[in-house]
Amino acid sequence: MPDKASDITGLLNQWRHGDQVAENELFDLVVPDLHRLARYLMSGERKDHSLQATELVDQIYLRLTAAKNRDWQSRRHFFAIAGRIMRRYLIDHARGRPDADFIALEGMENFLPAETAKIDLALTIDHLLNRLADEHPDWCNLVEVKYFLGLTDDEAAEVLGMKLRTMQRMWSDARQWLFEQAESGYGKSAHS
């Protein structure tokens, strides 16, 4: 049986060159993983969120099909981009959410801090990951597959084509870098 990762890489290349059949086969293969990623990301959102995982996948599907001419390097590259697009879509959605439910000022402190803190955290993570992508693209890919896809160490090593111990050392370095950047206040001032 052919390797799913090489199938996806081949289909990405065919799709880029306009092969409609390859596009259909590609999305048949990746949609279950995109749903898994969307469910994972949505599990961290508020319970009354106006988006559902399926709607998030639909929005991302539209963005991915618009980017078909991108130089897709591999299955890993595709899912890293998909995860980044989903994360940014959720952040943009949170930023643009209309405040339809007006509450009296007396009760506002019970509602705003948690929501504001969650949006601030999402913005901080977004800025730190953008900076990490510029400075250490491999580390950023690893953070995205571990954190946003929720892969285990073994799964992440396999997806990234690394030895387990190498991936674990890189994961430790990436986490340390993110922690140091967050502690230094970079994230707090980056989106102000």
User: Could you tell me if 27 and 37 are in contact, meaning their C-beta atoms sit under 8 angstroms apart?
Assistant: no
Mean pLDDT along residues 122-146: 82
Is it true that 1-97 and 102-192 share their CATH fold? no
Percent of the chain with pLDDT over 70: 73
Average pLDDT value for the chain: 75
43-52, 118-127, 175-184: least confidently modelled range:
118-127
| Phi, psi at 17, each rounded to 5° | -95, 15
| The CATH number of domain 102-192 is 1.10.10.10 | yes
**What is the share, in percent, of the chain residues with pLDDT greater than 90?**
8
Query: Where along the chain do its domains lie?
Result: 1-97, 102-192
CB atoms within 10 A of CB 112: 11
| pLDDT for the residue 108 | 34
- What stretches of the chain show up as alpha helix (H) in DSSP? 4-16, 20-42, 53-66, 75-95, 105-108, 112-135, 137-143, 153-160, 164-183, 186-190
Identify the pLDDT of residue 166: 94
Residue 9: band (very low, low, confident or very high) from pLDDT cuts 50, 70, 90: confident
**Span 136-155, pLDDT tens digits:** 988 888 887 777 666 778 87
Question: In this model, does residue 185 exceed pLDDT 80?
Answer: no
Alpha-carbon distance of 192 to 182, in angstroms, equals 14
* Interatomic CA distance for residues 16 and 66, integer angstroms: 11
**Predicted structure pTM score:** 0.54
Is the confidence at residue 191, as pLDDT, over 60? no
Give pLDDT, residue 123.
67
pLDDT value, residue 164: 92
- Residue 68 pLDDT exceeds 60: yes
135 confidence band (pLDDT: 50, 70, 90): very high
Class of domain 1-97: mainly alpha
> Residue 168: its pLDDT value, please?
93
